[in-house]
A and B are shown apart, each in its own frame.
Chain A
Amino acid sequence: MTTAANSYILWLTLAVLGLPLMASLSCFSIKQKVGWLAPLLSSILLLIASILASILFFQIGSEYEVSFSWVWFNLNQKEIALSILLDSKASIMMLIVTIVSFLVHVYSIGYMAEDYHQARYFGMLAFFTFAMIGLVMGSNLLIIFIFWELVGVSSYRLIAHDQEKETAIKAATKAFLLNKIGDIGFLIGLIILWSWSGTLEVADPNLISIPPFWLATAGVCMFIGVISKSAQFPLFNWLPDAMEGPTPVSALIHAATMVAAGAYLLVRIAILFTEDVLILIAITGAITTLAGAVGALFQFDIKKILAYSTISQLGLIVMAMGGGAVQGGYFHLLHHAFFKAGLFLGAGAIIHALHQVNQQSNMDVQDIRNMGGLRKKLPITFISFMICAAALSGIPFTSGYVSKEFILTQMTMWAGNEFSWRWIVMSCTWAVTFLTPIYTFRLVWFIFYRKPQHEHNIEEVPIIMRIPLIVLAVGSLAMLSSLSPFHISSVINVLQQSYPSTNTIISFVSIALILISSAAAFYIYKNQDAKNQKLVTPQYYLDAVSNYFSLLTLKLSEATRWFDKRIDFLIHGISYFQITVAHITGWADRYLVDGVVDGIAYSAKGVGAVTRSLANGKIQSYLLWAMAGLVIFIVWILY
C-alpha cells in the first residue's frame, strides 16, 4: 500500500481510539445542569467511531497487516514504542467493541434515564471503550498492559456506579482485587520478557528467543492475567458478583468485551505459549467451562445465570485456544460478544420492565422464580432474547452454532485417535455443548413460558432500548459471519488460514446433541416447582479461599501493626532508659555539682544583699564606700 493509504489508515485508527476518549472527557466535564447532553453526545461520537471502525475493518481486509510505531521513551538505551498493530483480528475486534459499545450506549439512554449521575456513567462507559480499543490495537506489551489496567479500573468504577449500594461496592472491590492478581501476573510476565529479550513488541521475533524455562514462565504469568480478566478457574468468582453493576455495564464489560480481552490476549501473544503452557490453558479452560455450566444450572438470579454462562463460554473459548481450535475459539469470542450482549440487554429490559411496575413492592426483580409468562407482554424482548439464547445454545442458523461446531470439529481432530489427556479436554467440550442448552432453555422457560407468577401490567421497554436488542439479535444470526449456516465459510477470512474441511459426522452429532438437550430442558423444568428451592450461588469454595486469604492478610497487617508498636516500644524503652539516666545525672548534677555552685551563688547572693543595702541610692553612701574601697585599694597596693 502507498504511504497515503497508510496515513489514511493511521488517521482512521487514531480517530477510532480518540473519539471514545473525547466522548469520555466531554461527559466528565459536562455540567450537571445539562447532564442530559452527555448520553446523546457520547452515543453520537461512538456511532461515528463504529462507522470509522467498520471502514477500517474493510480497509484492512483479511490479508493486510499494518503497524505504526513512535518512540515513547528510552530505557537503558532501548526504545519502548507506542506501537499499533492492525491485522484482521484486531480490526474485527475493534469493530465489535465499537458496535457493541455504541449499542449499549443507546440502550443506556433508556435504561439509565432516571439516574442522577448519568454524565459520570456515560463518561466511564466511553472511557472503557477507549481503553478496550487501545488494548486491542496496541502491539507493545507495556501499552497493552496499561490499557489492560485501565479497563479494569473503568470496570471497577462502573460496577460501583450505584455508590450507595453496599453489595455493588464490595463486588467492585473484589473484582478489582482479583483482577489485580492477574495484572501482577501479567506484569511479571512482561518483566521476564523485557529482561531476557529487551523488547516488548508482540510482533518482534526476538520476543521469544529467550531461554525456554523463562519463556514458559512468562507464558504462565501472562496466562494468570488472562485467568483473572477472563474469569477462569480459580479466579472467576468476581464475575457473578460483578452483576451488581447496572445491566448495560454487565452486557458491555462482563459479557461482550472486557472478559473477552483475556481471550483476545491469548490470540495476540499466541507465539509465547509453549506446548506445556498450552496444556495448562486447555485444562484450565475445561475446568472453567464445566464449573460455569453447572453453576448456571442452579442459579435463580437472571443476571447470575448469564454470568455463569459467560464463565462457561469463556472457558470454552480458552480451552479451544489452549487446544487446537484457535480459530474456532476466536470466532466464538466474536459471536459470543453479540449474543451474550443481546442476552444481557434482554435481561436488562425484563428487569427494567418489572422494576417499573414493582417499584413499591419488595420483590426481587432479578429472581426468575418471580417471572413467567412474559412472552406476551414483552414480545420484542422475547424474540430477540430467544434468538440470542438459541445462539448461546448452538442451535443451527445462528452464529453460535457455526462457531461451536467449528470448535467441536477442531477439538475432535486435535484430540486425535489415540486416547490421551486430550480426550478429557475434548469430552469437556462435548459435555458443555450438551449442558449449555439445558440451562439456557431453563432460563427461557422460567421467564417467558411458565405461568405468570404475578399479575402485572407490564409494558414493553421504550423504543430506544428495543433497537439495540433487535440489532444484536440480528447480529447473532449465522449469515453475518458465515455464508453457510452449518459450517464456517466466512466472507472474510479472519484468521488468514484455510478452514478445515467440515466433518459431517461431527456436525450431525452436535446438532442432534444440541436439539436433544434443548428439548430435555423444557421437559425437565416443565413440572418443576422452584418455589421452595433455595437461592444458591455455587462458588466452589473459591470465595471461602479468597476470604481466607484476605482474612490472613488482615491478620498479617494486624501483626505488623503490633510489631510496629513493638518497635516504638523499643524506641520508647531506649528513650525512657536515657531519660532515667538523665534524671539520675540531673539529680547528681543538681545536688552534688550544683550544690557547690549553688553554695557559691548563695554566698554571692548574700554578699550582694549586703552590698545592695549599701547601694541605698544616696550619693554620700556611694562616696563613703568608694573611699573605703580606695583606702583598701591603697593598702592592697602598697603593703
Chain B
Amino acid sequence: MSKQELLFFFSAFLFCSGLLIAVTKKNAIVVLMGIELMLNAANLNLALFNFQKRGMDGQLLALFIIIVAVCEAAVGIAIILKSYHFYHSSVLDQISDLKEKN
C-alpha cells in the first residue's frame, strides 16, 4: 500500500466518520463538527490530487473549500445560537418542524 493509497483510504474513512458524526450526534455543534470533518476529508483528497499532478488546481480548490467552510461554520454557529434562543435547546431532536403534521 503506497502513501497515496493510504491517504485515500484515510480520507474516505474521515468522510465516513464525519458523516457518522453528523448523522448520529444530537448536539448541533457536534453535527457541525462532523460536517467540518467531511469537508476536510474532501480537502485532503484535493491536496492529494494536487500532489500527484502538476499545477496548483487542487490546492486552490481546497482553499476555496476552506473559505466556504468558514462561512458555513460562522453562519451555522449563528443559526445554532438563534435556534437555541428559540427552542432553548441545541438538541436537534427537539427541532423537528420539518415534519408534516399528522
A residues in contact (CB < 8 Å) with B? 612, 615-620, 622-624, 627
A-B contact pairs, 16 of them (CB 8 A): A615-B99, A616-B99, A617-B97, A617-B99, A618-B92, A618-B93, A619-B95, A619-B98, A620-B22, A620-B23, A620-B24, A620-B31, A623-B22, A623-B23, A624-B23, A627-B19
* 0/1 interface trace, chain B 29-47, chain A, CB 8 Å (1 if under): 0010000000000000000
A617 near B31 with CB under 8 A, answer: no
Taking the nearest CB of chain B, how far is it from the CB of A616, in angstroms? Answer: 5
Q: How far is the CB of B26 from chain A (nearest CB, A)?
A: 8
- A618 and B99: CB pair below 8 A? yes
Residues of A close to B22: CB separation below 8 A = 620, 623
Q: Is the CB of B31 within 8 A of A616?
A: no
For the complex, what is the distance from the CA of A616 to the CA of B94, rounded to whole Å? Answer: 11
Tell me, yes or no, whether B100 is within 8 Å of chain A by CB: yes
Interface residues of B (CB under 8 A from A): 19, 22-24, 31, 92-93, 95-100
A618-B93, A620-B23, A622-B98 known; 11 new pairs, CB 8 Å cut-off, are A615-B99, A617-B97, A618-B96, A619-B92, A619-B95, A619-B98, A620-B22, A620-B24, A620-B92, A623-B22, A627-B19
Of residues A615, A620, A624, which shows the largest number of chain B Cβ atoms within 10 Å of its Cβ? A620
User: Given the complex of chains A and B, what is the CA–CA distance between A627 and B19 in angstroms?
Assistant: 9
A617 is contacted by which of B19, B23, B24, B96 (Cβ under 8 Å)? B96
Minimum CB–CB distance for B53 against chain A, Å: 23
Shortest Cβ distance from residue B36 to the other chain A in the assembled complex, whole angstroms? 15
Q: Would you call A617 and B98 a contact (CB within 8 A)?
A: yes
For A618, the closest partner residue in chain B by CB is B96
Chain B residue numbers with a CB within 8 Å of A612 are: 100
Q: Is the CB of B23 within 8 A of A616?
A: no
Complex Cα gap A627–B96 (Å): 19
Find chain A residues with CB under 8 A from B92 CB. 618-620
Task: Enumerate chain A residues within 8 angstroms of B95, measured Cβ to Cβ.
Answer: 619
Taken together as a complex, chains A and B put the C-alpha atoms of A620 and B96 apart, in Å, by 10
Specify which chain B residues have a CB less than 8 angstroms from the CB of A617 in the assembled complex: 96-100
Please report the C-alpha to C-alpha distance between residue A620 and residue B28 in the assembled complex, in whole angstroms. Answer: 10
Choose among A616, A623, A624 the residue that contacts B96 (Cβ–Cβ < 8 A). A616
* B101 CB, min distance to chain A CBs, angstroms: 9
Q: List, in ascending order, chain A residues with CB within 8 A of B24's CB.
A: 620
Complex CA gap A624/B31 in Å reads: 12
Contacts of A622 in B (CB 8 A): 98
B75 to nearest A CB, angstroms?
15
Q: Whole-angstrom distance from the CB of B49 to the nearest CB of chain A?
A: 19
CA distance A616 to B102 in the complex (A): 11
In the docked arrangement, what's the CA distance between A622 and B95, Å?
13
CA distance A500 to B34 in the complex (A): 142
A620 to B31, CA, bound (A): 9
Per the bound structure, the CA–CA distance linking A616 and B93 in Å amounts to: 10
A507 to B98, CA, bound (A): 126
Docked Cα-Cα span, A611 to B98, in Å, equals: 15
A627 and B23 contact, CB distance less than 8 A: yes
| B102 CB, nearest partner CB in chain A, Å | 8
Nearest Cβ in chain B — how far from A532, in angstroms?
Answer: 101
Measured CB to CB, the closest approach of chain B to A150, in angstroms, equals: 80
Closest beta carbon of chain A to B99's beta carbon, Å: 2
Considering only CB atoms, which chain A residue lies closest to B96 in the complex?
A617
Q: How far does the alpha carbon of A616 sit from the alpha carbon of B97 in the complex, in Å?
A: 9
**Complex: how many Å from CA A617 to CA B92?**
10
- Residues of chain A contacted by B97 (CB below 8 angstroms): 617
In Å, the complex CA distance between A627 and B35 comes to: 13
Residue of B nearest to A619 (CB): B92
B22's nearest neighbour on chain A, judged by CB, is A623
**A624 / chain B contacts, CB cutoff of 8 Å:** 23
Q: In whole Å, how far is B40's beta carbon from the nearest beta carbon of chain A?
A: 17
Alpha-carbon separation in the docked complex, A619 to B92 (Å) = 8
Which single residue of chain B is at the shortest CB-CB distance from A617? B99
Sort A-B residue pairs by CB-CB distance and give the 7 closest, nearest first. Answer: A617-B99, A617-B96, A617-B98, A624-B23, A618-B96, A620-B23, A616-B99
Chain B residues near A615 (CB, 8 Å)?
99-100
Q: Tell me the complex Cα distance, A624–B92, Å.
A: 14
